[in-house]
Structure 1
Amino acid sequence: MENAELSIVEIVCKLEKIFPPAFFNVMEHLVVHLPYEAKVGGPVQYRWMYPFERCMLYLKRKARNKARVEGSICEAYNLEEVSNFASMYFDPKLQTRHTKVPRNDDGGQCMIDECLSIFKYPCRPIGKGKKRFLTDGEYQIAETYVLVNCKEVEPFLQQFEDSLRQSNLGITDDQILELRDRDFSRWIQQQVSDGQVKDQLIRQMSYGPLKSVTCYNGIIVNGYRFHTKQNGQNKATNNSGVCVRGSIYGEHDIDYYGIIEEILELSYIGAQNKVLLLRCHWFDPINGVKVDERYGLVDVKPKSRLNSNEPFVLASQAQQVYYTMYPQSNVRGSSDWWAACKVRRKLFVAESFNDEQLDLNELDASDYYQDDGSFGTSNVVIEDEEFSLFDANSPMEDVDINDIHKSKSAPLTDQFIDDNEYSVNNEYLDEDVDKQ
C-alpha cells in the first residue's frame, strides 16, 4: 500500500503524456488519495454507504400517500414489523412470508411408515394428468425396473440370481441380466404364491401395478423442474434434458444422457403406493457421447440412440441437464453435436418451531447450492427462560485491582498508521499544536 501511494503519482504523470487533457477529471485524480484512505479507514465494506442506500430505496417504496411521505413510510414499516413478529407464532404449516413454499417444492418426505422406500421419495407432478394404458411390453419393462430398484426386494433379487448360477453352470452376467428382465417378476409372484415371502408390503408389490397409468407434462424432484420434450417445444427454456448415473459409476463416460419423452405415474395396491417413471430417449453412450479428458466437457450426438430395451428410469434417479448447439462454423460435423451442461438444483432448508435439527436435502460434493430467495423461520422463545450470568464451570481469572482504577486518559496509539509519517507535510498543524 505504501509503494502504491508513492508510485501512483508517477503513473498518473506518465498517463498525461499519452492521453489528452480532456481525458483526466476528478475520477483519475481520485486514485492518488485511495491508498491513504485505505490505510486510515481500513476495509471499504465497513464504511461504504451502499447498505444504507438500499435501505432507503426499500423504505421509499412503502410510500403510498405523496402528501405525507414520512408518515406513510412509518405506518407501513410499523405494520410490516408487527405482521412479521406475529407470523412467527403461527402454525408451521401455515404459509407466510417467512415460511413460503419454494418454487421447486417436491412435496416433502412421506411420513407414512407402512410403505416401501421406493414409494416414499418426495416428488410432485405438475399439471393435470391424462390416463392411458400400457402395452404388454411397456408393462413388463416398467414392472421389472421398479422391482429391481426397490431396496427391500434386493435379497430376493440376489436369491434369484444365485438360483440361476446354480442351475446353469457357466452362465454369463449378460445372460443373467437378460433372464432377470424377462422372468424375475413372474418368479417373485411364484414365491409369494408358495408362501416364501412374509412381508405384506412386498407381497402387495409383487402383484404389479395397474395397466392404467397417469401421464403428466412435468414433475418436480431432487430440486429440479422437468418437462417433457413435447411440452417444451415452443418454450425458450429447455427442461427436458436428463442424466442418469450408470450402475458402475466412475467417470463421466458412464453417465447416460437423454431427453424425457413421457412422465408416467404407476399405481400399486394401496392408496400411497405410487411411483413416477420417466420414459426417455437415451443417446448412445459409446458412439453418441464424448467427454473431453482435460476439461470434462460432455458432447452428445442427438441423432444417436441407445440400443437397449430399457427406456424407463425412476424420477428419483434423474439429474437435469440442458443441451445447447454449437455456433455455426466451417468445421465439418460440428452441428451434429450438442454440448451437455448439468444444471444446479434449487435446494432449500426446511425448518420448524418444533424441530431442533434442520432437515437438509442431500447435497453431493459436485453439486452447488442455489438460494431462491426463501427465508427460514426463526426460533422464538415463547416461555420465559431464566439465564444465569455466573458460570460455575468457567475458569476463574485473577484481576489486578490497579488495572481497574487505571486512568482512562492514557494516550491511544495506532499500530497501523505512523503519526510521524506526515509530520513534514503538516507544518502548519505542528505550529498550532506548539502554540497551544
Structure 2
Amino acid sequence: MKVKNKAHVEASIVEAYLVEEISIFTSQYFEPQSILNFPGRSSGALKKRWLSGSEGYIIETYILINCEVVTPYYESFLNELYEHYDSKEPTIKELVATQFKDWFKHRVKDEINYTGNVLLKLHYWGPTTEVIRLPCYFVNDYNFHTERHSVGKSTFNCGVCVKSSLYTNTNSDFYGILEEVIQLDYPLIPNMQIVLFKCRWVNPVRGMKVHPRYHLVDVNFKKVYQKNKPFILAQQVVQVYYTEYPSMKRDKVDRMTVCKIKARRVVDDSR
C-alpha cells in the first residue's frame, strides 16, 4: 500500500516510491554478514520432507565450507591434509567431502562450552533433517521456479547459473536446472534458516561449449554432472534460460543456447 496520507494521495505515492527506490539502490553496496537468513521470499504451497542420511551429510558439509565463522577451521583442516597428501587435488576434495564435517564437530566440541560465538554453536548442532520444500523463491532480484512448477507455464524460471570465482572466465561457470528449493531450520536459535537449491548440473567439460570469439554458451543436458554435489546456496545463483539451438545438424540437435537474464531493479552501469 503506497498511500499513507489520503489527503495528499499523489504526493504520498511519490514519497513511497522514492523511499523504495533509495533503499533498493543503497542495498547494492551492502552484503549480508551471514549465509543465515539471507534476504529472500517464498511463494506457493509449502510441503515438508525428510532428508536422507547422505543428503544431510552433503548439505551440512557444503554449508560449513561456505560459512565465514567456520573458515579458520576449514583452512586448518586443509593444511593438515596438504601435509599428508602432497596437494593432490582429487584426494583433497574427496577427503573434505567425507571427513570435514566430523572433523569440525570433534574439533569444536570442547570450545562450544565456553565460547561466546553463537554461530559456532549453531553450526555445531546443525539443522534439522526435516526440511520445507518451496515451489517458488525470489532471491537476488530473480524469481525462481522449480522445474516441476514451471511445467505448462509461458515463462522459463528454472534455469540457474553459478558464477565461478574467475568472473572473466565463462568456461568455469556452472549451468543447470532447478529441481527443488529447500529451507533448513536451525533449532538452536528460533527463525534461523538457510535456503538451498537442488539442481541438475550440466557437465562443464563434456556438456558445455563456449564460442571463442562471441563467448556464447551452449549446453547439453544429456551430459550431466555426475558428482554428488547438487546443492547450492540460493544467494549464489543467478538466473538464465535455455533456448533450442538453431541447427538441425546431428551433433547439435541436443544442444541448447544459454541466455542470460538481467536481475530486476539492477542499476545498469555499463555505459
Query: Fold-level match, TM-score > 0.5?
Result: yes
1-structure distance, mates of 2:178, 2:47:
17
Q: Deviations over 1:393-418 (max 9, x none)?
A: xxxxxxxxxxxxxxxxxxxxxxxxxx
1-structure distance, mates of 2:85, 2:230:
31
- 2:175 paired residue among 257, 266, 270: 257
Verify: 1:189 aligned to 2:105, yes or no: yes
Task: Compute the displacement of 1:200 (Å).
Answer: 2.5
- 1:160 paired residue among 77, 84, 88: 77
2-structure distance, mates of 1:206, 1:212:
17
Instruction: Rate the CA distance shift 1:242–1:83 in 2: closer, same or farther, 3 A.
Output: same
2-structure distance, mates of 1:326, 1:132:
37
Residue 130 of structure 1 aligns with which residue?
47
Task: Compute the displacement of 1:278 (Å).
Answer: 0.3
Residue 68 of structure 2 aligns with which residue?
151
Instruction: Rate the CA distance shift 1:83–1:163 in 2: closer, same or farther, 3 A.
Output: same
In the alignment, is the contact (CA less than 8 A) between 1:218 and 1:263 conserved in 2?
A: yes
- 2:94 paired residue among 170, 178, 200: 178
The one-letter code matched in structure 2 to 1:326 is Y
In the alignment, is the contact (CA less than 8 A) between 1:116 and 1:152 conserved in 2?
A: no
Q: Secondary structure at the residue paired with 2:149? A: coil
1-structure distance, mates of 2:106, 2:42:
34
Verify: 1:272 aligned to 2:191, yes or no: yes
Structure 1: which 5+ residue stretches go unaligned?
1-79, 90-95, 110-114, 349-362, 369-436
Task: Compute the displacement of 1:136 (Å).
Answer: 0.6
2-structure distance, mates of 1:144, 1:364:
36
The one-letter code matched in structure 2 to 1:172 is K
Instruction: Rate the CA distance shift 1:82–1:171 in 2: closer, same or farther, 3 A.
Output: closer
Task: Compute the displacement of 1:271 (Å).
Answer: 1.6
Instruction: Rate the CA distance shift 1:364–1:311 in 2: closer, same or farther, 3 A.
Output: farther
Task: Compute the displacement of 1:193 (Å).
Answer: 1.5
Q: Deviations over 1:364-407 (max 9, x none)?
A: 967x9xxxxxxxxxxxxxxxxxxxxxxxxxxxxxxxxxxxxxxx
Task: Compute the displacement of 1:245 (Å).
Answer: 1.7
Task: Compute the displacement of 1:320 (Å).
Answer: 0.3
1-structure distance, mates of 2:86, 2:248:
53
Verify: 1:296 aligned to 2:212, yes or no: no
Instruction: Rate the CA distance shift 1:216–1:82 in 2: closer, same or farther, 3 A.
Output: same
Q: Secondary structure at the residue paired with 2:74? A: helix
2-structure distance, mates of 1:223, 1:165:
40
Q: Secondary structure at the residue paired with 2:147? A: coil
Structure 2: which 5+ residue stretches go unaligned?
1-5
RMSD: 2.9
Q: Deviations over 1:262-288 (max 9, x none)?
A: 000011121232010000000011111
1-structure distance, mates of 2:147, 2:198:
11
Task: Compute the displacement of 1:178 (Å).
Answer: 1.1
- Kindly tell me the number of residue pairs found equivalent between the two proteins: 257
Residue 84 of structure 1 aligns with which residue?
10
The one-letter code matched in structure 2 to 1:297 is L
1-structure distance, mates of 2:258, 2:13:
44
Task: Compute the displacement of 1:195 (Å).
Answer: 2.1
Higher relative contact order (CA 8 A, sep 6+): 2
Matches within 5 A, 1:276-425: 276-327=195-246, 329-347=247-265
2-structure distance, mates of 1:251, 1:365:
20
Task: Compute the displacement of 1:258 (Å).
Answer: 0.2
Task: Compute the displacement of 1:139 (Å).
Answer: 0.4
Q: Which has the larger radius of gyration?
A: 1
Instruction: Rate the CA distance shift 1:224–1:87 in 2: closer, same or farther, 3 A.
Output: closer
- 2:143 paired residue among 218, 225, 229: 225
1-structure distance, mates of 2:207, 2:11:
57
2-structure distance, mates of 1:365, 1:172:
42
2-structure distance, mates of 1:162, 1:235:
49
Task: Compute the displacement of 1:128 (Å).
Answer: 2.9
* Identity of matched residues, %: 35
Instruction: Rate the CA distance shift 1:171–1:252 in 2: closer, same or farther, 3 A.
Output: closer
In the alignment, is the contact (CA less than 8 A) between 2:157 and 2:239 conserved in 1?
A: yes
1-structure distance, mates of 2:70, 2:96:
13
Residue 374 of structure 1 aligns with which residue?
none
The one-letter code matched in structure 2 to 1:157 is Y
1-structure distance, mates of 2:85, 2:258:
43
